[in-house]
Structure 1
Amino acid sequence: MPDLIALARAVVPENKTAGDPAFGLAEIEFVEAVTYASADELIAMLRVLLDEDWMGLPPWARGLAHRIAVLQRPHDGALLRASAHDRSAFYQDADGITAALLREADRLDGGAPSA
């Protein structure tokens, strides 16, 4: 498998060179790698990239990585909650997805509802 962290760094806008298309080869390679990555690989990549520069990884890239990880681990309350909180930083919850992720995380964890 290609180095997911290197591919993710390549889609960070600050790392692109002048004249690169908005969605070019780096993004295609990232999507391909994320599509077939394991949840562990995706979570590790997100931790590294978000620790390096929380705003660096574009919302579409982090959302795709979270979504594929959640599809692989639908019963991981901590992952669902992390995905919901990350999503809420960039999108209004007009479609109810963030709220649904938090409700499911609360149900799985058997705890009090998230704020």
Structure 2
Amino acid sequence: MTVSDLTQLMSKVSTKGVNDGAVEIPVEARRLIEKLTFAAPEDIWQALRESLAEDWTALPVWARNLAFRLLCLQRPDDAENLGQAGADLLSFGPDWDAFAGQLLARSEELKKDR
């Protein structure tokens, strides 16, 4: 049986017993992840706009990717959100260029259908 990359990563951050060698996530990062997980899409969108307007490079790539991903999952037919998410991913590629292309293509499709 092969263990997926995602399962391996989950294992590395899991807390087995008393943090048996697990990765410690800084409190601020943990709070952000928890808040983002249950945030309304309009709150995520507002926070992204404000954060990126303040200092476009300050928000870590993992945090922006997570925020845009959750936003797009909650609003899969919002052309503006999908386009912004795709453009943002292109800024930090090339690892995510294929995903960015899919988001941008979907955004354009939705704009045509209006």
Asked if Structure 1 and Structure 2 have the same fold, meaning a TM-score greater than 0.5 normalized by the shorter chain, the answer is yes
> What letter corresponds to residue 78 of structure 2 in structure 1?
D
Conserved 8 A contact 1:75-1:108 = yes
- Label 1:94 to 1:40 Cα distance change in 2 as closer, same or farther (>3 A): closer
Number of residue equivalences: 91
Runs of 4+ in 1 over 6 A off after TM superposition: none
Conserved 8 A contact 1:59-1:90 = yes
User: Could you say which residue in structure 2 is the equivalent of 1:53?
Assistant: 55
Q: 2:44 aligns with which of 36, 42, 45?
A: 42
Offset of 1:23 from its aligned partner?
Answer: 3.4
Conserved 8 A contact 1:93-1:99 = no
TM-score normalised over the length of structure 1: 0.73
Offset of 1:96 from its aligned partner?
Answer: 1.4
TM-score normalised over the length of structure 2: 0.74
Quick one: percent identity of the two aligned structures?
Answer: 33
1:108 aligns with 2:100: no
Aligned Cα root-mean-square deviation (Å): 1.9
State the distance in 2 between where 1:22 and 1:62 align: 20
User: Could you say which residue in structure 1 is the equivalent of 2:101?
Assistant: 99
Question: Which structure 2 segments of 5+ residues have no match?
Answer: 1-22
Larger Rg: 2
Offset of 1:104 from its aligned partner?
Answer: 0.6
